[in-house]
Amino acid sequence: MEDSASSFSLSTSEAHSEAATSISVGEYIRNYPGMAHVESLIRSKFTSDSKLLTEIPEYLLHLGGKRIRPALALITHALCAGKAHASPNSSPAPASPVPVPQPLLDVAAGIELIHMATLLHDDIIDRSPIRRGQPSPHIRFGETATLLTGDFLLVRAFSLCSRLDEHIVNETEEACVFLTEGEILEVPLSQQRSSREESLCIAEKKTAALFGLAAFAGAHVAGSSPEVERALKSFGLEIGIAFQILDDVLDVTADENLLGKRCGGDLIEQKPSIINVLWLESGDPLAEELLLTQYPSRPGESFETGRETSGGGSEDPRREQLVQQAIREFRCGTAQSVVAEAKELASSHIARAEGLLEESHDHLQRAFSGEPESPHRAQARQALEALLKYTVKRLQ
C-alpha cells in the first residue's frame, strides 16, 4: 500500500492550551522529533559498490511518501516513555527533551526500508508502470535490477532490526512473513473468489503488519508492559487495515492526479480488494462480468506466484469499456452503496483503534502510578489521535 496524497491538516496542542498549530500531515511527520535522523539513517543504508543499488532506492525515496510507519514508532515510544525527543547528538539539560534512543532510530528506519522493498517488489508483481505520477522503478531501471534492489533493502533492514533484542527480531520476522503471505493470497477473483473476511485478512497481512510492527516497536523500546505492547500493536493493525480499505476506495473514486497512477487498477487486476469483494457480493452483473471473467493477459507472468497478470493496462476493448463503466458506477451510480459500505467498514476499524488507544492509555496511567499525564505523553497521545482524525478525513 502506498500513502495517497492529502491536504488534510493535523492539529497539535499543549494540553489545556487554546493555541494550536495546523500543518499538513506530511509536514507534521517530517518535522516530528527524530524523523530527520531516521531519514538520514535510511539514506546511509543505500551505500553500495553497485551504482544501481544506490540509485534505485534514492529514486523511490524521491517519489515521496509520508513515512507514517517510522513516525508511528517514534510517537508510540514518546507515549510510553513519557519523554519528549531531541536530537540524538544533543546533551539535554534536566527537564529538557531526552535524545531519541539509537535502537528506536534503527527499528524505525528498518521498518521503512522493508516498506520500500515491498513497493519495489509489488510494482513488478503488478506490472505497474506508474508510481506517484512517475515511471515505476522497474520501468526506469529494469525488472532484474529493481527486484535485486528490493532484496538489498530487505537485507539492510534486517541489519538494523537485528541489533535489537529477540522480541523485535521475532516481530519483524512475523511481519515480513505476513507481507509475503498477503501477496501470495492475493489471487485474482477470476481464479478464486474471496470472501470479505479473506479480503480483510489479506489487508491485515500485506499492509497492516508493518503498522502493527511499528507501534509495537516504539512501545517495546520504551520498556512498556506486554499489555501496552499488545494494545498498541493492535492499534497499528487496525489503522493499517483502515488505510488499505481506503486505498481500495480511492482506486475507484479518486482522480489520477491524487492517485499518481491510473484509476481502476484493482478492477483490471481483478484483485480481491474489499471494494471488489463487496461489489461482487451485491450481485451486480457488471461486477461478475468484469471481475470473474478470465481475460487474455499480457505476455509474462507475475513474480512470486507464477500466475498470469494483465498489468497496468487493459488491452481488450470490451474490458476497457467495462472498467470505465464500473468507475462511473462507483462515482455516481448504483455502486455508490458499495463505496459507502466499504467506508463504514473502515470506520469500524478506526473505532477499534480508538478503543485500543484508550486501553493503552489506561495501562500506562497505572504503570505511571496514576500520576498526572506529562505534557510529552499528552502530546504523543494527541499525535496518535490526530492520525486517527487524518484517517477519518480520508473517508471524505
Q: Are residues 157 and 117 in contact, defined by beta-carbon separation less than 8 angstroms?
A: yes
Domain membership of residue 235 (yes or no) is yes
| Residue 301 DSSP symbol | B
Q: Are residues 204 and 237 in contact, defined by beta-carbon separation less than 8 angstroms?
A: yes
Dist. CA 9–CA 394, nearest whole Å: 11
| Structure confidence at residue 66 (pLDDT) | 81
Residue 29 is part of a domain; what is its CATH number? 1.10.600.10
| Structure confidence at residue 187 (pLDDT) | 94
The chain-wide mean pLDDT, for the chain, equals 86
Domain membership of residue 1 (yes or no) is no
| Structure confidence at residue 202 (pLDDT) | 97
**For residue 363, which amino acid is it?**
H
**For residue 200, which amino acid is it?**
L
| Residue 99 DSSP symbol | E
Q: Which residues of 104-116 are buried (b: 16+ CB within 10 A; e: fewer)?
A: bbbbbbbbbbbbb
Q: Provide the grid cell at 209.
A: 503488519
| Structure confidence at residue 269 (pLDDT) | 92
Which residue range is the domain that position 207 belongs to?
9-394
Dist. CA 133–CA 292, nearest whole Å: 29
* Backbone phi, psi, residue 373, to 5°: -65, 130
| Structure confidence at residue 258 (pLDDT) | 73
| Structure confidence at residue 8 (pLDDT) | 35
| Structure confidence at residue 3 (pLDDT) | 55
Look-up: residue for cell 540524538? 88
164: helix, coil or strand?
Answer: coil
Domain membership of residue 42 (yes or no) is yes
Domain membership of residue 296 (yes or no) is yes
Domain membership of residue 72 (yes or no) is yes
| Structure confidence at residue 97 (pLDDT) | 56
Domain membership of residue 2 (yes or no) is no
Dist. CA 221–CA 73, nearest whole Å: 9
Listed in sequence order, the residues at least 6 apart from 137 whose beta carbon sits closer than 8 Å to its beta carbon are 56, 59, 60, 120, 123, 131, 146, 149
Domain membership of residue 3 (yes or no) is no
Domain count, the chain: 1
Q: Provide the grid cell at 181.
A: 503471505
Look-up: residue for cell 529493481? 146
**For residue 202, which amino acid is it?**
I
Q: Provide the grid cell at 20.
A: 494550536
Q: Which residues pair with 260 in a beta bridge?
A: none
Helix axes 226-253 and 274-281, enclosed angle (nearest 10): 70
Domain membership of residue 4 (yes or no) is no
User: Going residue by residue through the chain (396 aa), what tens digit of pLDDT does each one get?
Assistant: 655 444 334 444 433 322 233 456 777 787 888 999 999 999 999 999 999 999 999 999 999 888 999 999 999 999 998 655 654 544 443 333 556 899 999 999 999 999 999 999 999 998 889 888 899 999 999 999 999 999 999 999 999 999 999 999 999 999 999 999 999 999 999 999 999 999 999 999 999 999 999 999 999 999 999 999 999 999 999 999 999 999 999 999 988 877 777 889 999 999 999 999 999 999 999 999 999 998 876 544 443 333 444 444 456 788 899 999 999 999 999 999 999 999 999 999 999 999 999 999 999 988 888 778 788 888 889 889 988 988 888 777
Note the helical H segments in the chain.
Answer: 25-30, 35-44, 51-62, 68-81, 102-126, 137-141, 143-161, 166-185, 196-203, 209-221, 226-253, 256-259, 265-269, 274-281, 285-292, 317-332, 336-367, 375-394
